[in-house]
């Protein structure tokens, strides 16, 4: 028996290094499955374009060639680079996608086949030339892992083309985008035994979460995680957990790294995007930062 138009249809696929699930309610089965297929196709395309691991991705081509010449990339890759530059500007360089060399050195990413990054390179060395072309002023390695997953969720929703009556929930490993007339109850669970917070109502918005606690490693007697302060290149978030609510998931995704790096000093950046952050840290518990609810 086919589900009724009001019953949710949920499917999941392994993408973006996590499990991506898409749920659609308020549509007939055929329309819901077609929309979900479009959503997964969009996520898979973003994965191919922005993978650090694939040699023929836009990201790998930039890392290999953009210090020597302008590299033409897909419009989606260019849009993510532009948003990354915006986040870097607003955070004073705390958010910086040119930390790829640091991630490779710490063993979080594989070493690319060609070239070596300049240790002094930063986001200011990324030049967006227009017509979807990118050039680097110095050799550097960009990693979009701190922002591309949120963008993939946004693009999936856009390409699903679901009507306003449909309730859509896209979840990419904790990066959420919700659209439709209903609200969704979301539980934020920090990776510690007592760290849970319920966000009761999320409607037509996005939420992203980040922490380095579960993926941290011990290097020379210190805990190191996969998130780095763009200015100091120091590891951040090895004990804390941040969730950000924002209109777009790409923004929420990027802001989580800024919150992990700055804590309460991220208030100004959060407010500039109309975003709210829930930050958990041992000893201080949960704190809410950013715009008024």
Distance CA 11, CA 24 (A): 9
For the domain covering 183-290, report its CATH number.
Answer: 3.10.520.10
Domain assignments of the chain as residue spans, ordered by start: 58-136, 183-290
Report CA Rg, the chain.
19
Global pTM? 0.91
Distance CA 263, CA 222 (A): 20
Distance CA 288, CA 293 (A): 10
Helix (H, G, I), strand (E, B) or coil at 84: helix
Q: Which CATH class is domain 58-136?
A: mainly alpha
pLDDT tens per residue across all 293 residues of the chain: 344 455 799 999 999 989 999 999 999 999 999 999 999 999 999 999 999 999 999 999 999 999 999 999 999 999 999 999 999 999 999 999 999 988 898 888 889 887 889 989 999 999 999 899 999 999 999 999 989 999 999 999 999 999 999 999 999 988 999 999 998 888 777 666 555 565 657 889 999 998 867 666 677 767 777 888 889 988 887 888 899 999 999 999 999 999 999 999 999 999 999 999 999 888 788 888 987 64
């Amino acid at each position: 028996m086919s589900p009724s138009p009001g019953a949710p249809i949920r499917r999941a696929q392994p993408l973006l290094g996590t499990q991506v699930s898409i749920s659609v309610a308020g549509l007939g089965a055929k329309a819901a499955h077609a929309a979900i297929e479009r959503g997964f196709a969009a996520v898979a395309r973003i994965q191919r374009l922005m993978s650090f691991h694939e040699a023929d991705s836009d990201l790998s081509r930039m890392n290999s060639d953009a210090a020597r010449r302008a590299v033409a990339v897909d419009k989606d890759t260019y849009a993510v680079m532009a948003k990354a530059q915006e986040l870097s500007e607003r955070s004073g360089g705390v958010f910086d996608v040119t930390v790829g060399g640091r991630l490779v050195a710490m063993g979080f990413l594989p070493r690319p086949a060609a070239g070596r990054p300049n240790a002094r390179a930063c986001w200011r060395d990324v030049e967006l030339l227009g017509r979807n072309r990118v050039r680097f002023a110095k050799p550097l390695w960009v990693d979009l892992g701190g922002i591309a997953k949120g963008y993939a969720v946004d693009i999936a929703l856009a390409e699903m083309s679901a009507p306003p009556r449909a309730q859509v929930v896209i979840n990419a490993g904790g990066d959420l985008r919700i659209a439709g007339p209903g609200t969704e109850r979301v539980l934020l669970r920090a990776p510690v035994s007592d760290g849970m917070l319920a966000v009761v109502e999320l409607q037509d918005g996005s939420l992203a979460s980040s922490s380095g606690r579960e993926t941290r490693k011990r290097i020379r007697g210190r805990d190191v995680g996969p998130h780095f302060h763009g200015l100091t290149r120091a590891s951040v978030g090895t004990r804390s957990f941040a969730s950000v609510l924002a209109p777009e998931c790409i923004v929420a995704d990027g802001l989580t790294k800024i919150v992990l790096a700055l804590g309460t000093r991220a208030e100004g950046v959060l407010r500039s995007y109309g975003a709210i952050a829930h930050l958990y840290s041992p000893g201080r518990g949960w704190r809410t930062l950013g715009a008024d609810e």
